[in-house]
Structure 1
Amino acid sequence: MCRRSIFRIFLVTVFFTFISTSLSVHAEIGEPEKDELTFGFIKLTDMAPIAIAYENGYFEDEGLYVTIEAQANWKVLLDGVIDGKLDGAHMLAGQPLAATIGFGTKAHIVTPFSMDLNGNGITVSNEIWKKMKAHIPMEGGKPVHPIKADYLKPVVDEFKQKGEPFKMGMVFPVSTHNYELRYWLAAGGIHPGYYAPHKGDTAGTIDADALLSVTPPPQMPSTLEAGTIYGYCVGEPWNQQAVFKGIGVPVITDYEIWKNNPEKVFGMTKEFTEKYPNTTVRVVKALIRAAKWLDENDNANRPAAVKILSQSNYVGADYEVIANSMTGTFEYEKGDKRAVPDFNVFFRYNATYPYYSDAIWYLTQMRRWGQISEPKSDEWYVETAKDVYKPGIYATAAQELIAEGLMKANEFPNFATESGFKPEQTEFIDNISFDGSKPNAYLEKFDIGLKDETL
């Protein structure tokens, strides 16, 4: 037999071995039980993994044919997932937790995928900024960052003395934005108010120095401009939009409130994940690939991502507005543009892994502000986190990607030893550390906030 024939036989053998291996890998999770899916999102830049998984063909690689639909607000989005109009959605991290424990709408929602870290900011009106600036230390003609709520407190006190309410906006009662805004305010001695759902009080303004209310993200700038609110906490591009329109000043990012804090998640009903397990894993595989693409090569793909997100069917804001934060910078006062390379993180630092400790932090904030009416045991926090966050599904998806050669094992946690709890986290604006295994001890550390009492 000639060398050419031997070589051909070798190539054929290698080819069929590759096909066989590929098929056996896919056979481990099986074909998708449901292949036509509809996903929801809100017009924020952190919905990017869904858009990129769609645009780059990662969903189709998994045999999934996906339709993506923008939703009017977070309640409409959650209701769509619960009633089955949506098969999954870009969600506030607090939404699956709140729904599962019955704060607001009762439904068992789970998350097998965390969508990002950081990505939010707090903006105040020009009028409030002018008042705050008188109290902020300066260096080289620019404010020293991070800007604490300590510098807002004299302004809020002035409003109180005049008998005028100091109003601020956040996007939803169980949003990261609500908890971050409350955290920042309380760290500066400004009480953001309590909820008392057992008394029918869901306004969250009991004992409040600053009154927080819900405003949908795209409406934040216009609501600020109208003077209905004096500041807000929101995701991008709606802080940078205030800068471009000249109507407000972002004073702090959530990265400066809690470094590398968890932000959005991908939510699905527990029923969906149990009825369609193969489909669920394949969705997570596609989203992991999209998250990696967004962060790889030091964010080299971000300009391309910004171009996609600027389309009207996604975020629909100007390229320059979205790029201001997505490409590693953030503009505070107009002209004060600073490097914030980790403002948006989609894959680095195991951003996509659904850590139980992340869930527990959200639950502690729900308890701190009264959304959870009564004290709970540490065990309750852990069990609730495990009811909602599903790292097992994530690990299956990741291991499939590793087996297919699309990802490397060192890009993920060590699944054999991972507990789901991050080491104690210390980089908060108030220097109070968080250990997810000790939620009640954590709550005891705060001067402002509920502990053992019930309102």
Structure 2
Amino acid sequence: MSDNRTDFTALHALAWVAGSDAPEKNALNIGFMPLSDAASVVVAATQGFAQPYGLTLNLHRQASWAGINDKLLSGELDAAHALYGMVYAIGLGISGAPASNMAVLMGLNQNGQSINLSPSLKADGVTSPAALKQHADQPGTTLTFAHTFPTGSHAMWLYYWLASQGIHPLHDVHSVVVPPPQMLAHVQAGRIDGFCVGEPWSAQAADLGQGFTVATSQSIWPDHPEKVLACTQAFVEQYPNAARALVMAVLEASRFIETSLENRRSTAQLMSSRDYLDVPLAHIEPRFMGHYHDGLGQQWQDAHPLSFHNAGTANAPYLSDGMWFMTQFRRWGLLREDPDYLAVARQVQQLDLYCRAAGSLEIPLPSSPMRRSQLLDGSVWDGTDPAGYARSFALHARHDQ
């Protein structure tokens, strides 16, 4: 093991022999938001993946990410389908609550979010990034965009995309927080000019003619990190076997979803039910399967669709994934100083626990918890110089040096 990297393969030898350690707590309360990317948690809880590990997963649908934030901290929820950035914001004390040590148990998905613009912008001919930039530059114009949580992934994708088009997300637009299921209502009421959210809410808006998709999150960062299975560090310390069993159940469910197209379809149908998304299957299944239309007449099969497993790469808790969100907090002034990016990520990302669970299931482990990616503006992120990366962008908040 080097000074700044952890070798996943070395941790593989720590694999847990299933059944050797009974969970300390058998019934777990698991929170989720009504989004397509909660599927692996729902499947784990309802399709028999938890019981072999001695667990019962009690699902609790939540109305907002703020509610998940609060209930994780209070202990009302043992773990949750959570925003990557939200978990780090809680740990860094920038979520509106006192700092509390948090844990990312595993990734739940990559890709599958979208940025939509409103029917009024479409009517004005604003149907491309260049047209949006021109519109935003007009004197007296104030655009209002919605995301789902101030430090969440949707805020970061929205800010990153706007900045890549030369639109400053803090100066040139007004941002508001709207729970995912309420996005369409805010568009219909004319309160917002656009939004970034997880599916199926962007697809539903496009299907109903309530705007159009101008960018997918995977067009910003192909195979980007998205939702995670999160809990407090205290939960991992108090119930280590239960935490590991939970990861194994959700890992098996994640793998199951991607075993066949039929499994994806049946999962989309499950998610459409009243208990989970309560949305017609026609608004869920296409993008769940990677089939897109943007509401402007364009259709495509996405090269980087919503992924729940991807041979384990969607689930591995890469250190660099967690570090990226901190670089964006720094970029946009949510952090006034650079944290010790690597040290914080090592504390939050539960590498040992994940590798034991994945090793027991013979799920491939990456050779390194750092990965290299190129984003739409040409910037390369590999975790090697997070402070420099945060300062490298042409558009950013003023940093107090």
With normalisation by structure 1, the TM-score equals 0.81
Instruction: Work out whether residues 41 and 71 of structure 1, in 8 Å CA contact, stay in contact via their aligned partners in 2.
Output: yes
Q: Deviations over 1:354-386 (max 9, x none)?
A: 00000010000000001101234xxx0000111
Q: 1:425 aligns with which of 370, 373, 386?
A: 373
Counterpart in 2 of 1:156? 136
Identity of aligned residues (%): 31
More off after superposition, 325-334 vs 254-263: 325-334
Counterpart in 2 of 1:172? 149
With normalisation by structure 2, the TM-score equals 0.92
Query: In the alignment, residue 344 of structure 2 is paired with which amino acid?
Result: T
Uncovered stretches (5+) of structure 1, i.e. residues with no partner: 1-23, 137-148, 194-207, 403-410
SS at the partner of 2:267?
A: helix
- Using the TM superposition, give the Cα deviation of residue 54 of structure 1 relative to its aligned residue in structure 2, in angstroms: 1.6
Instruction: Work out whether residues 126 and 249 of structure 1, in 8 Å CA contact, stay in contact via their aligned partners in 2.
Output: yes
Query: In the alignment, residue 382 of structure 1 is paired with which amino acid?
Result: L
Cα distance in 1 between the residues matched to 2:33 and 2:113: 14
Q: 1:254 aligns with which of 217, 235, 239?
A: 217
> Using a 3 Å threshold, how does the CA distance of structure 1 residues 369 and 132 change in structure 2: closer, same or farther?
farther
Query: In the alignment, residue 400 of structure 2 is paired with which amino acid?
Result: T
Cα distance in 2 between the residues matched to 1:173 and 1:46: 19
- Indicate whether 1:397 and 2:357 are aligned: yes
Uncovered stretches (5+) of structure 2, i.e. residues with no partner: 1-15
Query: In the alignment, residue 444 of structure 1 is paired with which amino acid?
Result: R
Q: Deviations over 1:394-445 (max 9, x none)?
A: 011112223xxxxxxxx4125xxx33111x312x111111121211221232
> Using a 3 Å threshold, how does the CA distance of structure 1 residues 397 and 375 change in structure 2: closer, same or farther?
closer
- Using the TM superposition, give the Cα deviation of residue 131 of structure 1 relative to its aligned residue in structure 2, in angstroms: 3.5
- Using the TM superposition, give the Cα deviation of residue 245 of structure 1 relative to its aligned residue in structure 2, in angstroms: 1.8
Please, what is the CA RMSD of the aligned residues?
1.7
- Indicate whether 1:43 and 2:5 are aligned: no
Instruction: Work out whether residues 150 and 189 of structure 1, in 8 Å CA contact, stay in contact via their aligned partners in 2.
Output: no
- List aligned pairs for 1:263-412, cutoff 5 A: 263-297=226-260, 299-333=261-295, 335-348=297-310, 350-376=313-339, 380-402=340-362, 411-412=363-364
Where does structure 1 differ by over 4 angstroms across 4 or more consecutive aligned residues?
none
Q: Deviations over 1:172-193 (max 9, x none)?
A: 0011110000001001110011
Q: 1:444 aligns with which of 385, 391, 396?
A: 391
Cα distance in 2 between the residues matched to 1:156 and 1:117: 30
Query: In the alignment, residue 191 of structure 1 is paired with which amino acid?
Result: H
Q: Deviations over 1:325-373 (max 9, x none)?
A: 1012112025432111532011116110000000010000000001101
Q: Between the two structures, name the one with larger relative contact order (CA 8 Å, sep ≥ 6).
A: 2
Instruction: Work out whether residues 327 and 341 of structure 1, in 8 Å CA contact, stay in contact via their aligned partners in 2.
Output: no
> Using a 3 Å threshold, how does the CA distance of structure 1 residues 55 and 342 change in structure 2: closer, same or farther?
farther
Rg larger in 1 or in 2? 1
Cα distance in 1 between the residues matched to 2:319 and 2:287: 28
Query: In the alignment, residue 304 of structure 2 is paired with which amino acid?
Result: D
Query: In the alignment, residue 274 of structure 2 is paired with which amino acid?
Result: S
Cα distance in 1 between the residues matched to 2:119 and 2:385: 41
Counterpart in 2 of 1:413? 365
Query: In the alignment, residue 261 of structure 1 is paired with which amino acid?
Result: H
Instruction: Work out whether residues 132 and 152 of structure 1, in 8 Å CA contact, stay in contact via their aligned partners in 2.
Output: no
More off after superposition, 342-351 vs 316-325: 342-351
Aligned length: 383
Query: In the alignment, residue 439 of structure 1 is paired with which amino acid?
Result: P
